[in-house]
Structure 1
Amino acid sequence: MKTKFGKYLENFMLKSNYTLEYISKETDASISIVGHYRKGIRIPKDEFIEKFIKKFISIDKEKNYIRYIVAYDRTPELIRKELDKKIDKIEDNIIKLPFVGKAAAGRGYVNFSSENIGLNETVSYLIEVSGDSMFPTLCDGDNIVVNSEVKNLENIDGKICVLTYHDQTYVKRIKVKDKKIILKSDNKEKYKDIIIEEEQLEYLKLEGLVTSSIRKH
């Protein structure tokens, strides 16, 4: 019978378009070992699980779920029946991240509407990066996880954030200087800073902090 983690890993790779080679590279495990984990014929070691979580998982509930199903896979069959009742509840409570739209890593993108999907009730969501201004940190087409709980501009100095300025949505690295906010690109040779003076700050809205990214291969 296939392990719980094997089913999880298979779905995760399909959803993210990740290959065995990529998972292997990011977790320092051999391709054959990762293949065995995906097929559910071997139970992963704690070292692999922690590397996998650190690289790919940003939501605490999902981290806990992964650790739980690995512990479940290691549990004798006689005890699993009771655990099955709990695991169904945990699966129901895993956060399903909504996909909002696009935000530009270049010159602004309008395809973003947090109000339309009720983000007031959602801590994190996905946005597709459009453009190359944040290269090599972020690439065109990457999906980024945005934590919408972070709303204070004073606490995001040096961090990559999603912001809306005059109805244009950006993915930029933030620099707080004096009473100015500077939207900086990691691709400095191609893109200039966007400097927002104090009197223009009322038109700037912090949508959230970028916590991780998913790259398609």
Structure 2
Amino acid sequence: MRKGGVIMSEFVVSEEGRKKLAIYIKTLREKREFGLNQLAMKAGIQKTILSRIEAGKILKINPFFLRQLAVALRIDYKELYKIVGYLEEEDFKEEMEIKDSQAEYTGVKVVELPVYGVASTGKGYLNLETILKYKKVINDGFSSDSFLVEVNGDSMATLINDEDIVVVDPQLNDYVAGKIYVITYNDETYIKQVQCPKKNIIVLKSLNSNYEDKYIIDEEIKQVKVEGRVVKVITEKKL
């Protein structure tokens, strides 16, 4: 029986598909700066299984594993399904036609990005593990592997307010004074303005004076990972 392009009775992947998947996952993992063990933990699968997938050695790949990997890598699982042949071109045809017609009509490029969260801009902590949904947004210059974060809190008010959604571009990880970044430190991730008053000091600054800034100094800086820069704020409040 075929459902959504997938033959439900078997999940055999061709040698070409296994090689393409292996290259795709390893390249994206390294781009995200995840180690093999780190990605396996994020995806909730065994390291040995992930290692064999990256080596192209698994003949039958559980589609559930691919969904988990997609969430951990912050991509649409359909991209992985397409590579291994679980989805075919016709499964994307109608969606592509709709997007093309929308772009032609509006004259802008519309993209669908994963939404993570909810992010607390109070303490700053946010969740980059779970995709809440996918949302169409107008791409006005950010990279194709950008992602969205749903905000909860007011420490970055009035620039970023409660219930806003921010676009984060992971390719913009260089330091620019005064910009807003998504930063992971000590296994917690924050949306904050970043300042570097000295080479050995990083300040995660709240824009709301009711919240204290976070100082990271000396050797602690090695634990900082820049997930990306906030490049756009989308106000979601209903009037």
Q: What is the rounded CA distance, in whole Å, between the counterparts of 2:185 and 2:119 in structure 1?
A: 12
Given that 2:146 and 2:168 are in contact with CA atoms closer than 8 Å, whether structure 1 keeps it comes out as: yes
Q: What is the rounded CA distance, in whole Å, between the counterparts of 2:233 and 2:217 in structure 1?
A: 30
Question: Aligned ranges for residues 22-37 of structure 1 at < 5 Å?
Answer: none
Q: What is the rounded CA distance, in whole Å, between the counterparts of 2:226 and 2:118 in structure 1?
A: 15
Letter of the 1:172 counterpart: K
Letter of the 1:164 counterpart: T
Which of the pair is proportionally richer in helix?
Answer: 1
1:151 matched to 2:151? no
- Taking structure 2 as the reference length, what is the TM-score of the superposition? 0.46
Q: 2:234 aligns with which of 191, 214, 217?
A: 214
- Taking structure 1 as the reference length, what is the TM-score of the superposition? 0.51
Q: What is the rounded CA distance, in whole Å, between the counterparts of 1:207 and 1:146 in structure 2?
A: 8
Q: What is the rounded CA distance, in whole Å, between the counterparts of 2:208 and 2:126 in structure 1?
A: 21
Given that 2:126 and 2:190 are in contact with CA atoms closer than 8 Å, whether structure 1 keeps it comes out as: no
Shift in CA distance, 88/106, structure 1 to aligned 2, threshold 3 Å: same
Calculate percent identity across the aligned residue pairs.
Answer: 38
1:105 matched to 2:121? yes
Which of the pair is proportionally richer in strand?
Answer: 2
CA RMSD of aligned residues (A): 2.9
Question: Aligned ranges for residues 1-217 of structure 1 at < 5 Å?
Answer: 87-88=100-101, 94-113=110-129, 122-152=144-174, 155-179=175-199, 180-188=201-209, 190-215=210-235, 216-217=237-238
Letter of the 2:208 counterpart: N
Given that 1:103 and 1:162 are in contact with CA atoms closer than 8 Å, whether structure 2 keeps it comes out as: no
Q: What is the rounded CA distance, in whole Å, between the counterparts of 1:127 and 1:137 in structure 2?
A: 15
Given that 1:122 and 1:148 are in contact with CA atoms closer than 8 Å, whether structure 2 keeps it comes out as: no
| Structure 2 alignment gaps of length 5 or more | 1-96, 134-142
Given that 1:106 and 1:170 are in contact with CA atoms closer than 8 Å, whether structure 2 keeps it comes out as: no
Given that 1:97 and 1:124 are in contact with CA atoms closer than 8 Å, whether structure 2 keeps it comes out as: yes
Given that 1:134 and 1:186 are in contact with CA atoms closer than 8 Å, whether structure 2 keeps it comes out as: yes
What secondary structure sits across from 2:118 in the alignment?
Answer: strand
What secondary structure sits across from 2:155 in the alignment?
Answer: coil
Q: What is the rounded CA distance, in whole Å, between the counterparts of 1:90 and 1:187 in structure 2?
A: 38
Shift in CA distance, 90/214, structure 1 to aligned 2, threshold 3 Å: closer
Structure 1 residue 101, shift from structure 2 partner: 2.0
Count of residue correspondences: 125
Flag the structure with more relative contact order, 1 or 2, with Cα contacts below 8 A and sequence separation at least 6: 1
